[in-house]
Amino acid sequence: MDTSVWITLALTLKVAGCATAINLVLGVAVGWLLARRQFIGREFLDAVLTLPLVLPPTVMGYYLLVVIGKRGWLGHWLQQTFGVNLIFTWQGAVIAATIVAFPLVLKSARTAFESVDPQLEKAARVLGLSEWSVFFRVTIPMAWPGILAGVLLVFARSLGEFGATLMVAGSIPGRTQTLSIAVYEAVQAGQDDTANFLVAITSITCIAVLLAAGRLAPGRPQLR
Amino acid sequence: MKHTPLRHRVGVALLALAPLAANAADLTVSAAASLTNAFKELGAAFEAQNPGTTVVFNFAASDALLAQIVKGAPADVFASADQEAMAKADAQKVLAAGSRRNFVSNSLVMIVPSDSMLGLKRLADLQKTEVKRVAIGNPASAPVGRYTKGSLVAAKVWAAVEPKAVMAQSVRQALDYVARGEVEAGFVYSTDAAIMKDKVKVVATIPTEAAITYPIAAVSTGPNPDAARKWLDFVVTSAAQAVLARHGFSKP
């Protein structure tokens, strides 16, 4: 049991880490788009992308099954074209965690970008910086504390993702069984010793993440 | 405007949140997932015979139900899909003395999606490389998984199948995985396969080491022992057995 717990923990961190990395890129891109660009359906897009925050995880899991399942339109196409199957794989778990946690970074990033004074960006442009340089040397550094807070929330949420992950990735020990699912399995089977151990590991991991988050985000008092 | 003291208002709010204490006339039946359809039908018949009693069902894998009962879930009746789960309940002293009896039996089948082209026929076919995933109940919590594992071990194919196994929470989840075509094959009871005839195909009936008999018993801590006893007597009546037979269950 001992080694399998560490495999489960490593898998959980891998899934959460991948979901966080994807969300960092997507969250910054879409957050900036929503904050700085006017286009038709902007608020509608925001609402749709925020949906995973309010929809039950089972609903998200079902949507994912219908879309990326072997008989789903996207899943079928992936299978036919690339021979890729996402259901019951750790990559499927990453997709579930990514989508479920995405609103957290999106909201934070959008708010962070909106709070950056456009005058400063204008000044940078006047001083001759290209649009890319303005974005990476002015906008991002100023919005960073907000984005980072969102990213840490995403990591925490991905660590604990359960419902959609269970439906999409199943519970295969060593391959798709994350900590939260392993806890569920142990309780279902009445294996309280295993459950206690897993719960302790999960709690310690989360505390470590929160402490790390406190260190990583020293900017809070000096935000303004 | 006169303000109600805050704690009164909080008190009223909390009252609204308090779970309704189980109605004295409720009979709570925790039953194996495979009994879902048959028991729902029996529940309606039982309510018709016992006016004023409402039958509340809790369907899940047998060991999950057992874990809930051991932790104090207010179930009156426990029906499991194998003797092992019931034996564990007995060992934990949660059964009413002398109430345990077997009431139906079932059989284990190997199923494939109805559009499967792999031509799987026997347990040994699961070793083929085209078979990537096989849905089986989790042996730790679902009796169907224990029966399946026992048969696969006896047929000496467990070592080949285990790496392909997708552990389902209950027999119904294994059925769903096959019906959706997410796995190449799966193991369920014949009664489960029958409810999704259009989506799954039974390719083999699998002999099991122990006969698949379902025990049922009253829970010693159940809030409604009278109704529990009535339910135990009811499920062995010829009328109830006829309903169970229509859902594919055999006599024990």
Which CATH number characterizes residue B134's domain?
3.40.190.10
Position of tokens 């509340």? B56
Same domain, yes or no: B100 and B216: yes
Q: Which of A178, A189, A198 is nearest to A8 (CA)?
A: A178
Chain B residues inside the 8 Å CB shell of A90: none
Write the DSSP symbol of residue A121.
Answer: H
Report which of B231, B214, B186 is spatially closest to residue B62, judged by C-alpha positions: B214
Tell me B210's DSSP state.
Answer: S
In a domain, B181, yes or no: yes
Q: Mark whether B162 and B199 lie in a shared domain.
A: yes
How many CB atoms lie under 10 A from the CB of residue A45? 14
In a domain? residue B75 = yes
At residue A214, the pLDDT reads: 73
Question: Tell me, what's the pLDDT at B18?
Answer: 52
Quote the pLDDT of residue A222.
47
Residues B95 and B142 in one domain: no
Any A CB within 8 A of B162 CB: no
| Strand B77-79 relative to strand B26-32, pairing | parallel
| Number of A–B residue contacts, CB under 8 Å | 54
- Give the pLDDT mean for B118-140: 94
* Count: domains in chain B: 2
Span A62-77, average pLDDT: 90
Q: What is the pLDDT of residues B20-41, one digit of tens each?
A: 445 557 999 999 999 999 999 9
Half-sphere exposure for B78 (CA within 13 Å, toward CB): 35
- Residue A191 has a pLDDT of 87
Residue B1 lies in a domain: no
How far is the C-alpha of A195 from the C-alpha of A180, rounded, in Å? Answer: 10
Alpha helices in chain B (DSSP H): 6-17, 36-49, 62-70, 83-91, 143-154, 158-161, 171-179, 190-195, 225-234, 238-246
> Has residue A221 got a pLDDT over 60?
no
Is residue B251, in this structure, part of any structural domain at all?
A: no
Q: Is B61 on the interface with A (CB under 8 A)?
A: yes
Q: B76 with B13, same domain?
A: yes
Mean pLDDT of B194-214: 95
Confidence category of residue B1, pLDDT binned at 50, 70, 90: very low
Which domains are seen in chain A, by residue range?
A: 2-216 (1.10.3720.10)
Query: Has residue B131 been placed in a domain?
Result: yes
Number of Cβ within 10 Å of residue B157's Cβ equals: 17
With a cut of 50, say whether residue A90 has pLDDT above it. Answer: yes
Q: Do B217 and B95 belong together in one domain?
A: yes
Q: What is the mean predicted confidence (pLDDT) over B136-155? A: 95
pLDDT value, residue B13: 56
**pLDDT at position A17:** 96
Look at residue B182 in the predicted model and tell me its pLDDT: 92
Taking the C-alpha atoms of residue B74 and residue B51, their distance in angstroms, rounded to an integer, is: 21
Question: B172 near B34, Cβ under 8 Å?
Answer: yes
What residue numbers bound the domain in which B23 lies? 6-105+212-246
Inter-chain contact B88–A69, Cβ cutoff 8 Å?
no
Same domain for B172 and B220, yes or no, is: no
Same domain? For B219 and B98 the reply is yes
Residues B15 and B97 both lie in one domain: yes
In a domain, B26, yes or no: yes
Query: Which residue has 């003291």 as its token pair?
Result: B5
Q: What is the pTM of this model?
A: 0.82
Q: What is the mean pLDDT of residues B198-220?
A: 95
* A62: contact with B, CB 8 A cutoff: no
Q: CA of A191: how far to CAs of A1, A9, A194, B99, B170, in Å?
A: 12, 18, 6, 26, 17
Quick check: A187 and B138 CB within 8 A? no
- Could you tell me if A172 lies within 8 Å of chain B, comparing CB atoms? yes
Q: Tell whether B252 is covered by a domain.
A: no
Residues B148 and B79 in one domain: no
Residue-wise pLDDT for B37-96, tens only, equals 999 999 999 999 999 899 999 999 999 999 999 988 999 999 999 999 999 999 999 999
Same-domain pairing of B33 and B154 = no
CA distance A3 to chain B (A): 17
Is B88 among the domain residues?
Answer: yes
Please judge whether A69 and B133 are an interchain contact, meaning their C-beta atoms are less than 8 angstroms apart: no
Residue window 83-102, chain A: list those with CB within 8 Å of chain B: 85, 87-88
